[in-house]
A and B are shown apart, each in its own frame.
Chain A
Amino acid sequence: MSTHLLINPSHRSIDKALMGRIDSMLDGMSDEGMHQYLADTVYLERQRFHTDGVVEGEDVQFVERLAHALHEDSESLPSVAGELVRAYSHEIHNRFSERTFGAAMKLAPAALKRLLAPSDRGAWRWPELDPGEYIQVQGPLEQLRRLSETHTLIVAPTHLSNLDSPLVGYALHMAGLPPCTYGAGLNLFTNPAMSFFMSRLGAYTVDRRKRHRLYKDVLKAYSTELIYRGAHSLFYPGGTRSRTGCIESHLKRGLLGTGIAAWQEGLRSGEEHRDVIVVPCTLSCSLVLEAETLISDALAAEGKSRYIITDDEFSHPTTVLKFVRQLMDLDVSVVVRFGAPLDLIGNPVDEQGRSIDGNGRSFDRRKYVCDRSGSVITDVQRDRVYTNQLASALCRSYQRDNVALPTHVAAYAGWMCLAERYPKLDVYQRVLLAPFERWVDRNRLLAAVEHLLIQLDATVAAGEIQSVLPSGTDRAEQVLTDAVSTFSRFHSNRALAFEDWRVLVDPKLALYYGNRLAGAQLDIGSAP
């Protein structure tokens, strides 16, 4: 398989391109606007240094030089701003290695096997390790494979865990799709070995602590440049891991909007350029490594939740290994479902990548951005609306391609039964129930699961959601038993656990896993 990550630009080439893009953006600003823009950069960076206790280093030097240029030496401002852009460009850009990628894909199963094998040999036998057994990859794969030969893909997955990037990377490989460049948090590059592989597997560096516009604009310029050059890219449009466990319903438009910018640049260049296609991707997992931390964060008092979490389960390698090991003992632990591909405005595309309207007719999408003579018309506001429409189409796709698994169904039923027992408590009060209050009647829970399964069958048949659930008789019992068994494998608390005639419910985890079905408008029926 050809990787089709066609570009592997040098730092110099990327520096030049990014500086050109940022220069032209700054040229479009008034003197006052540019001064404010750069002053905000200094202010927000100094604020970050103060908060993080940073007193020296390259970042500090650059920002202080920029402050000096702003206040004392305006003539040097362009060159100092340029230095900062170059520094960010160097920090962000990593070089993909086709060799490393190929080797990693070949060696990953064996390496995992070695990595996950127990230390006391013989006490535990690792089954035949084939990730295909635990990871299901679904969707219009043949169409996507063909499109990847002729188009630049932007893969847009939902986001649950820091393990998602390797998971999607592996799913792309299993599906015969090319690898993608993707942004990975700077914290993931701190380990030199990890950094070596991540950068060569297509990851570029994103420092989410830098919250000023200049950095974000450099990042967007970088993404635009890569797509313009034909690199398949991967963004998490939700911006961060879902804290609540819900499917993303509000997406961030920043990086998503770089697709339309790159497409227009391609059209404007007059040269033969690959068109850009967006591929929704929904990840559904029986267990999520960081579930306990994420839901606790979501339930933190208003204003206390964190956009960047660095001290979660992912930061403990042994926890990650334990988690992966447990996950691979399940029948189906993860479903990666690629959705029907879309154009950059959110219309579906056909086998050849042509946009399709609501009546199934193909049309020329260039007219969205070109006038009658075929010239590209620049209109930032228009493009923002187009990107919003793409975001809405992605959210609809995520709902349709969400895969209900036994842990989701049982947790949803558990949470709803708890709500039924304590109808006067709100969500926050319910998660703070005392341990002796956290239980539901097992028969009631079974009836609730049964009721949910009937509704799910109808919604699956209507194409509004997907499922991988047991079939045959006693489905509710199977789903519940399966979920309880799965929940017993990893978390310090169990979302659900059997105890005689009742089922103990951990409200936080039940809420987190059950939230995966929150958008499906399901109910558990009335208590008998």
Chain B
Amino acid sequence: MNIGIIGNGAWGRALAMLAAKAGHQPRIGFRGTRPTGFPGTPNLAALSTESDLLLIAVHAHAVREVVDAIDLDAGARVVLATRGLAPETGEWLSDLVAGNSPCRRVGVLTGPAVASEVVAGRPTALVVASLFDEVCKATQEAFHSEQCRVYTSQDLRGVELAGAMVRVLGVALGIADGVDFGVGARGVIVTRGLAEATRLGEALGAHPQTFFGLAGVGDLVSCASSPSHPSQEAGRAVARGGTATGFVLDETRSVLAIAGRNGVDMPLTEAVLSIASGDVRPKLAFDELMRRSARSED
């Protein structure tokens, strides 16, 4: 199977390693620095045409540019190895691909894997979600090895939402750290954050169990356990009074817009947005959350 990976960042190279472990010879599409250790090409359109499976492993904000550059055709099988929503439009990334090309066979690959650990040969697992079985099977074949277990799911929307929510909750964890709320608060953020994600997921037709799988709890544990995770760092910076990075505001706004359209209450995500926007100080926002009326956990 010809595997193309667009993105020469840490995650793109980690995926190339996993594909190589699974017995394939992936090629990396790059702009700028040529990859080492794997064949690479700056001709992204050619890579796209020649690949049986194309992974897009760039930041969410660059996905649109990549899709425009590679001119996908109706036969393409594309897997997004990136979390989040399209920053400017708040679209699901899978919809962005399908809406700007003829390609329909789209999937999302996510989970608790950390690039540096993959490169160090540590064991990990990923989940690939697509409406199309053939995309799931091809991705499983491409990356499943003794180092990495790849699970499949048809819950594309659930896995995409879980990925976006992990980023939002990572920021919340960073903020809580920044104001020294302690480990108990981290536990609250993780569980109540997952409850919010599950509520929204169910409203969108996603499977609740998805949020307790690799894309949800798995990824969140990985994020929460890694102080240097970009989301946590962004949260700590905000708590210190710094400016929120673009993705924090974009992501939380987009999630809340989807929640608003579906009538889902997401107080924790709203608190993250109000803090990140500089509207409310972290302590006040959390006080507000704590003053909400008592209710059942269900």
Indicate whether A367 sits within 8 Å of B104 (C-beta atoms), given known contacts A358-B99, A382-B134: no
In the assembly, what is the distance between CA of A372 and CA of B52, in Å?
10
Roughly how many angstroms separate A477 CA and B100 CA in the complex, as a whole number?
Answer: 45
Given A382-B132, A386-B104, A365-B74 contact (CB < 8 Å): yes
Q: Which residue of A lies closest to B131 (CB)?
A: A385
Docked-complex contact B102 and A347, CB < 8 angstroms? yes
Give B104 Cβ to nearest chain A Cβ, in Å: 6
Across the interface, do A368 and B75 meet the contact criterion of CB distance under 8 Å? yes
Contact B133 A368 (CB under 8 A): no
Q: Mark B91-130, 1 if CB is under 8 A from A, else 0.
A: 0000000111110110000000000000000000000000
Q: List 12 A-B contacts (CB under 8 A).
A: A357-B102, A358-B99, A358-B100, A359-B101, A363-B74, A364-B73, A365-B102, A367-B75, A381-B132, A382-B133, A385-B104, A388-B131
Most buried by A among B74, B100, B104: B74
- Asked if A368 and B104 sit within 8 Å, CB to CB, the answer is yes
A379-B134, A385-B131 given; A370·B104 CB < 8 A: no
Q: Is A481 an interface residue (CB 8 A)?
A: no
In the complex, how many angstroms separate the beta carbon of B99 from the nearest chain A beta carbon? Answer: 4
Least distance between A42 CB and chain B CB atoms (Å): 32
Most central of A345, A371, A382, A386 by chain B CB within 10 Å: A382
Q: How far is the CA of A366 from the CA of B99 in the complex (A)?
A: 18
A357-B102, A371-B75, A381-B134 provided; 12 other pairs, C-beta below 8 A? A357-B100, A358-B99, A363-B74, A366-B74, A368-B102, A370-B75, A382-B105, A382-B132, A382-B133, A385-B104, A385-B131, A385-B132
Please list the residues of chain B having a beta carbon within 8 angstroms of any beta carbon in chain A.
73-75, 98-102, 104-105, 131-134
A136: Cβ under 8 A from any B Cβ: no
Rounded to whole Å, the gap between the CB of B238 and the closest CB of chain A is: 35
Total A-B contacts with CB atoms under 8 angstroms apart: 47
Nearest 10 interchain pairs by C-beta: A367-B75, A367-B74, A358-B99, A363-B102, A357-B102, A368-B74, A381-B133, A385-B131, A358-B100, A367-B73
**How long is the Cα–Cα vector from A34 to B73 in the complex, in angstroms?**
39
Q: Which residues of B contact A240 (CB under 8 A)?
A: none
Given A345-B104, A357-B101, A359-B100, also A364-B132 (CB < 8 A)? no
Chain A residues closer than 8 Å to B134, beta-carbon distance: 379, 381-382
> Of B75, B100, B104, which is within 8 A of A389 by CB?
B104
Chain B residues positioned under 8 Å from A363 (CB to CB): 73-74, 102
Residues facing B in A353-378 (CB within 8 A) are: 355, 357-359, 363-368, 370-372
Best-surrounded residue of A358, A365, A371 (most CB of chain B within 10 A)? A358
Closest to A345 in B: B104
Residues in A with CB closer than 8 Å to B101 are: 357-359
Q: In the complex, how many angstroms separate the beta carbon of A520 from the nearest chain B beta carbon?
A: 15
CA distance A386 to B105 in the complex (A): 9
- In the complex, chain B residues whose CB is within 8 Å of the CB of A357: 100-102
- Distance in angstroms between the alpha carbons of A276 and B100 in the assembled complex: 23
Chain A positions within 8 Å of B73 at CB level: 363-364, 367
A interface: dominant SS: mixed
Residues of B within 8 A of A382 (CB): 105, 132-134
CA–CA, A382 and B135, complex, Å:
10
Give the CA-CA distance A347 to B74 in the complex, in Å.
11
Tell me, in angstroms, the Cα distance from A347 to B73 when the chains sit together. Answer: 13
Q: Which residues of B contact A385 (CB under 8 A)?
A: 104, 131-132
Once the chains bind, are B102 and A355 in contact (CB under 8 Å)?
A: yes
> Given A358-B99, A385-B132, are A372 and B75 also a contact pair (CB < 8 Å)?
yes
Specify the chain A residue showing the minimal Cβ separation from B49: A372
Q: Give the CA-CA distance A357 to B102 in the complex, in Å.
A: 5
Q: Mark A307-348, 1 if CB is under 8 A from B, else 0.
A: 000000000000000000000000000000000000001010
With both beta carbons as reference points, the residue of chain B lying nearest to A370 in the complex is identified as: B75
Chain A positions 214-250 with a Cβ under 8 Å from a chain B Cβ: none
Tell me the minimal C-beta distance from A442 to chain B in angstroms: 33
Closest Cβ of chain A to B86, distance in Å, is: 13
Q: Which residue of A lies closest to B95 (CB)?
A: A358
B residues less than 8 Å from A364 (CB atoms): 73-74
Contacts of B100 in A (CB 8 A): 357-359
Residues of B within 8 A of A379 (CB): 133-134
